[in-house]
Amino acid sequence: MKLDVWQKDVGIIADFASDAGSATPLFSASAPLYTAAIEMGAAEKTRQPFTPSSNGWRR
């Protein structure tokens, strides 16, 4: 899934969880990782895992 599509879906999921009063600690913890990847220009890439490393993000 492209990260820009993921970003749209995350908003829908977050709204649903909030409306249901449901805590989503793992979901919430993953958001900064995906946001960082999007900010690095990876929004159009598909199935490209990004992992943190000591010298920045690597693929």
2-57 pLDDT tens trace: 777 777 888 898 999 999 999 999 988 988 888 888 788 776 665 555 555 655 55
DSSP 1-59: --HHHHHHHHHHHHHHHHHHT---HHHHHHHHHHHHHIIIIITT--S---EEETTEEE-
Q: At what angle do helices 25-37 and 3-20 cross, to 10 degrees?
A: 150
23-35 residue pLDDT tens: 999 988 988 888 8
32 neighbors 39 (Cβ within 8 angstroms): no
| Token pair recorded at residue 58 | 């690597």
Does the predicted model carry a pTM greater than 0.75?
A: no
